[in-house]
Structure 1
Amino acid sequence: MKNLFLLSIMAFFGLSACVSNEDPKKGSGDLVTIPTQGLTSPTTYPGMTLLWSDEFDGATLNQANWSHETGNGQNGWGNNELQFYRPQNTSIQNGHLVITAKKEAFGGREYTSSRIITKGKQQFRYGRVDIRASLPKGQGIWPALWMLGSNFDTVSWPACGEIDIMEMIGGNGRENTVHGTVHWEHDGKHAEFGGKYTLGSGTLSDKFHVYSIIWDDKSIRWLIDNKQYHVIDTTPTQLDEFRRSFFFIFNIAVGGNWPGSPDATSTFPQHMIVDYVRVFQNN
């Protein structure tokens, strides 16, 4: 994430602009309705082994896999986003990760949400990634399931590379379209290449869908419900970023340069519900 990232966005990893007295292990406290429909992907693929997964079956977020990023970053995480990220907007409910965006004043912002990362805990180079998720909706809502290069602390963005497995832009009839994008540095400048897929009917918030990439040393392919909709050839030398390790980031942004701000049609709270994330690699 994102189309309009700034180089300084990630320099504020771990920033905590305000301290809450709430216990982050309690999560958002809002019970949500878990969808019952949608594709479920297999737990095995021919010629591949399940390397790592989080099925979100515990009582709380697994701290061996995930950390929270907090605060509002610089310039709204580089995109003029409006939310304040805090741990309290993450919960585990009935075997699902729930990230909740709320309209509430906190830390000088009008909205709160959560952003979790596997940085320093789980990182991956190549394989198939499957993430089964149900998305939020509404003008100004911007959920994302994505990855950044593990060498970010050394080279910063976009030289570290970015793989957006799923982004959805809420409002204005856009909630039926998934975006898959990569970002990198070329000749000292930001470069990107993206594709998208639009459902034949309904929206991405109606039920679970499986968002996937198949990634090796030659290409990255994007799939939704096992249907490929985008591919990039990564063999050129200028795309060497994508032959290194990456970590995961899951979040809901509110507002920002791409979706625009919430309006009178937007309703809160909104939830991104993740059933599982699985990483497979070739035998």
Structure 2
Amino acid sequence: MTTIISSGLLSCVDDEGTSAGTQLNLQLLFEDNFDGAAGESINTDNWNFDIGTGSNGWGNQELQYYTDRPENISLDGNGHMVITARRESYLGSQFTSARINTKDKVEQKYGRFEARIKMPGGRGVWPAFWMLGSVIETTPDNDPATLQWPFVGEIDISEIRGQEPYRTNAALHGPGYSGGGAITGNYDLVNDRFDAGFHTYATEWNPGFIDFFIDDIRYLRFSRDDIPEDGEWVFDDHSFFMLLNVAVGGSFVGFPVDQTPLPQTMVVDYVRIYDLGN
């Protein structure tokens, strides 16, 4: 049996361990089950591709070049979407991978955001399932600073350092608490690893607080009271969109080593959004 050790760095919910949906009338608003033939691309009615290197706006000292090639992202023919991080020379980068988002296509304010994923592992490998405020703009010459990161808000449902495959990390980023100063928490699996099988990662976003779940067990809550005095709670201001990616290297995980096993795959069974009915 898998055991969960929760170590939220801020507030934990009073009823920690409560199953999702026991007191909620969940209504399915969106789902992508990644049905299709092996080698096909993802549904671009739902998803956008981010293309390029960290200089295109994602930074963090990451080493990969994100592409939309089937070598890096495609369906597997068994109801999964697969993002593959590879060690290869490509347009000046030593690694390739993929990053996708639902901006301007699937956006939601409040609700349960959920994905069933088998994560990759290995030192320097950084998979993530996360969300950004939908009002974000990335051209500073044309848009006020409040429409740039972190002022629009970021919800990290799951980030994993490949060298710690037993631990997943949750975080909130906003004005006054971002990057290394983000509000963070994590949980550990005992005698299990997130790269050994599928797990369900979810957040339930409510006015004033956000809960985090693993396999339908709630382990952590962040609320308006957790942000620093000089910070601003921006999670009641606008809708958010979802992102999935596998980075290689970067400030959170460090550099991969020669012994890092590549390619590594993030295998996504489904992505869903529910209305919480409250």
- 5+ residue gaps, structure 1: 1-40
The worse-fitting range, judged by mean Cα deviation, of 204-213 and 182-191 is: 182-191
1:70 lines up with 2:54 in the alignment = no
Q: Which runs of 5+ in 2 are unaligned?
A: 1-18, 138-142
How many residue pairs match? The answer is 241
Q: 1:150 aligns with which of 113, 130, 134?
A: 134
1:108 has 2:92 as partner: yes
Structure 1 position 234 matched with structure 2 position 217:
no
DSSP-derived class of the 1:74 partner: helix
Q: What is the CA–CA distance in structure 1 between the aligned matches of 2:177 and 2:127, rounded to whole Å?
A: 30
Structure-2-length-normalised TM-score: 0.81
Normalised TM-score (structure 1): 0.79
Match of 1:124 among 108, 113, 118: 108
User: Is 1:257 matched up with 2:251?
Assistant: yes
Shift of 1:151: 0.7
Whether 1:272 and 2:266 are equivalent positions in the alignment is: yes
Tell which deviates more after alignment, 76-85 or 120-129: 76-85
1:231 partner SS: strand
User: Offset of 1:234 from its aligned partner?
Assistant: 2.8
**Contact preservation (8 Å) 2:62, 2:248:** yes
Instruction: Write the distance in 2 (CA, Å) between the matches of 1:262 and 1:43.
Output: 39
- How far 1:264 moved relative to its partner? 2.5
Q: How much has 1:91 moved relative to structure 2?
A: 0.5
Are residues 214 and 188 of structure 1, via their aligned partners in 2, closer, same or farther at CA, if it must alter by over 3 Å?
closer
Superposition RMSD in Å: 2.4
What letter matches 1:228 in structure 2?
A: R
Which structure carries more relative contact order (alpha carbon 8 Å, separation 6+)? 2
Q: Percent identity?
A: 39
Of Structure 1 and Structure 2, the greater helix share is in 1
Which of 149, 160, 165 is matched with 1:168 structurally? 160
- Secondary structure, counterpart of 2:54 in structure 1: coil
Matches within 5 A, 1:214-229: 214-229=204-219
Q: Distance in 1 between matches of 2:249 and 2:179?
A: 25
Note if 1:90 corresponds to 2:90: no
Match for 2:262: what amino acid? F
Q: Deviations over 1:216-251 (max 9, x none)?
A: 112101111112222111377820344420011100
Say which SS state the counterpart of residue 239 (structure 1) adopts: coil
Distance 1:160 1:55, change over 3 A: same
Aligned residue number for residue 122 of structure 2: 138
1:190, distance to aligned residue in structure 2 (A) = 8.4
Alpha-carbon distance between aligned partners in 2 of 1:188 and 1:165, rounded to the nearest angstrom: 15
